[in-house]
Amino acid sequence: MKTPTTTDPAVAATLLNKLRLNQTFTSALDGERGTGNMARQVANAMWSEVAPTPPREPRLIAWVPEMAQLLGIDIASDPELAASIFTGAQPVNGSLPYAMRYGGHQFGNWAGQLGDGRAIALGELQDTNKQTWTLQLKGAGPTPYSRQGDGYAVLRSSVREYLCSEAMFHLGIPTTRSLTLCLTGEDIERDVFYNGNVETEQGAILCRAAESFVRFGSFEIHAAHREDDQLKQLADYVITRHYPHLVSGKPSIDTYQQWFNELLERTAHLVAHWQRVGFVHAVMNTDNMSILGQTIDYGPYGWLEEYDLRWTPNFVDLQGRRYSYGNQPRIALWNLYRLANAILPLFDDNTEPLEDVLSRYEPLYENLWNDTRAAKTGLKAYDVDRGDKTLLDDLWDFLEHGSPDYTLFFRTLSDAPADDTPQALAEALQAAFYNAPDHEQKASLVDWLGRWKKRIEADGDQQAQARMQCSNPKYVLRNYIALQAIDAAENGDFSVLEEVSNVMRKPYDDQPQHANYAGLRPDWATQRPGCTMLTCSS
């Protein structure tokens, strides 16, 4: 087997053959054992024991050294064993593999039982800081929740999730993490555009890690089936393990309210971050909303190129554009309403405490967004009395009409020398447009830049530029960049995957040798499926 190219830092870590996992989730919560992987409806359970299907030829093709180091496991010294363990071919000491049961609202409609249809958790591990992580294999074969799916994942979508969760982490945005990426040696059939064109793709398994994979939909399934005992069990587990600062002893109605409030705040922060960097999740169903306020389940996501509130990369959402860029903040609230409905029994069916919390979302989000916009433009603080609302609204109106590349526009603004005139700066910003702005647009940009420079000068703050450079990434994982890593990986070359991983480790830094990943989307990518348009097929 070819050794992966990822270099591992010197770690004093547990050898893989000594790895031992814990099982808090399955020990504390109701579940079912020994029931096999036949697709079915499950009742009164939060998990089902299920064995991964051992793949024919597991092969490690990439891993995240800093995660291996954090988790204290030595992957480097035995890549073959790593491939066996992180594809489920070889059982791990202490592991009770399981699939989670959950439901969810998909595209606005209650979809009933969903669950981990192709994800199998192995168990938990404490990191070097004593934080607990669950390790989960995505694409390890059928589970009771696979419905019509096959339980597998293809290399294409696994590379996308592997890269994007790490890119997100390095952007400073809450997310699940990647640990390893393996090929399975199996052929998988996928009808990518749901038009009858079935293609064979390479199977792959991502081992991902998170403090918890519980979703809003994990609560909804119990509410839908009036499983009040399990609902309370799950809430108490989530609060005591993942929100320990909220509780000493038994959670009360007050605790549940504080928890919901904190989750609402975390969710609002998460979406404000997405909007800041132009990330479109594209499938914000309630089963894809983390109970920790993290980005979870990377499917047909994308990154804004031309600024457009209505943009979504999700082919199946083109009609309604429910999960378009501009809708994300209000969809998050819609999802919080669904969760509030689900956890109502914890409040003895009194809606008031939940409504109180929900009513905080819109003002909170507005403040977060104004702070975000202020940081993106280098203001010390958002101040309505100094005209900041008008100043920022005018810029965002300009973006809507001029549609520059969102990332490049803000990065060019961030990198501009302080003594540039508005005219010179407007000139430099031309490079951020796919279609050159007309005369009128140019004039309005010069006017805005003049007002903005005055506002920055009035702050007299030496940190303005540094603040902008920390808010406006130079490198984001545009779909065409991920696709280059996928194309090469599908041909057995993992060097692009590694190069892209490395570039995305420092998204706010200038990396002159990687300028090719920081420019406008190239023409070839405009028409290529997988660059502007994707589906959930994975």
Output 223 or 316, the one with its CB closest to ligand AMP: 316
Mask: binding to ligand AMP, 98-127, rule CB under 6 A, as x and -? ----------------xxxxx---------
CB 66 within 8 A of CB 506: no
**Per CB under 5 A, 288 contacts Mg ion:** yes
Burial class (CB in 10 A: 0-12, 13-18, 19+), 235: buried
As measured in angstroms, the least distance from the Cβ of 305 to ligand AMP is 23
Closest C-alpha among 209, 211, 207 to residue 177: 209
Q: ∠ at Cα 350 (347, 352), nearest 5°?
A: 105
Answer for which of 72, 91, 94, 149 binds ligand AMP (CB under 6 A) is 149
Output 159 or 496, the one with its CB closest to ligand AMP: 159
As measured in angstroms, the least distance from the Cβ of 493 to Mg ion is 30
b/e map 188-217, b = 16+ CB within 10 Å = bebebeeeeeeeebbbbbbbbbbbbbbbbb
Burial class (CB in 10 A: 0-12, 13-18, 19+), 518: buried
A 10 A CB-CB count for 448 gives 17
**Per CB under 6 A, 150 contacts ligand AMP:** yes
Q: Is 397 noted as a catalytic residue in this protein?
A: no
Find the part of the chain contacting ligand AMP (CB under 6 A) among 143-151, 236-244, 364-372, 411-419.
143-151
**Per CB under 6 A, 184 contacts ligand AMP:** no
List CB contacts of 268: < 8 A, sequence separation 6 or more. 329, 332, 361, 364, 365, 368
For 298, what's the count of Cα atoms within 13 Å in the CB-facing half-sphere?
28
- Indicate the SS3 state at residue 111: strand
Find the part of the chain contacting Mg ion (CB under 5 A) among 153-161, 166-174, 287-295, 501-509.
287-295
**Per CB under 6 A, 376 contacts ligand AMP:** no
Find the part of the chain contacting ligand AMP (CB under 6 A) among 148-156, 179-187, 334-342, 374-382.
148-156
CB 399 within 8 A of CB 413: no
Residue with token string 């403090």: 211
As measured in angstroms, the least distance from the Cβ of 210 to ligand AMP is 14
What's the CA gap between 192 and 537, in Å, rounded?
A: 5
Output 288 or 327, the one with its CB closest to Mg ion: 288
Output 94 or 117, the one with its CB closest to ligand AMP: 117
Strands 73-74 and 14-15: parallel
Output 152 or 243, the one with its CB closest to ligand AMP: 152
**Per CB under 6 A, 54 contacts ligand AMP:** no
CB 500 within 8 A of CB 489: no
Residue with token string 């920055």: 456
Would you give the distance in Å from CA 384 to the centre of its chain? 32
Per the residue annotation, which of 74, 236, 287, 388 is the catalytic one? 287
**Per CB under 5 A, 441 contacts Mg ion:** no
Helices (H), 278-387: 328-343, 352-358, 361-376
103 binds, among Mg ion, ligand AMP, none (CB under 5 to 8 A by kind): none
Answer for which of 186, 236, 297, 498 binds ligand AMP (CB under 6 A) is 297
As measured in angstroms, the least distance from the Cβ of 203 to ligand AMP is 10
List CB contacts of 72: < 8 A, sequence separation 6 or more. 11, 13, 14, 125, 127, 128
**Per CB under 6 A, 146 contacts ligand AMP:** yes
Nearest residue to Mg ion on Cβ basis: 297
What's the CA gap between 492 and 61, in Å, rounded?
A: 9
Output 208 or 467, the one with its CB closest to Mg ion: 208
Size of residue set near ligand AMP by CB under 6 A: 16
Answer for which of 267, 288, 412, 501 binds ligand AMP (CB under 6 A) is 288
As measured in angstroms, the least distance from the Cβ of 296 to ligand AMP is 8
Answer for which of 186, 297, 317, 388 binds Mg ion (CB under 5 A) is 297
Output 146 or 288, the one with its CB closest to Mg ion: 288
CB 504 within 8 A of CB 518: no
Q: Which residues bind Mg ion (CB under 5 A)?
A: 288, 297
Q: Which residues bind ligand AMP (CB under 6 A)?
A: 114-118, 145-146, 149-152, 283, 288, 297, 299, 536
| Catalytic sites, residue numbers | 287
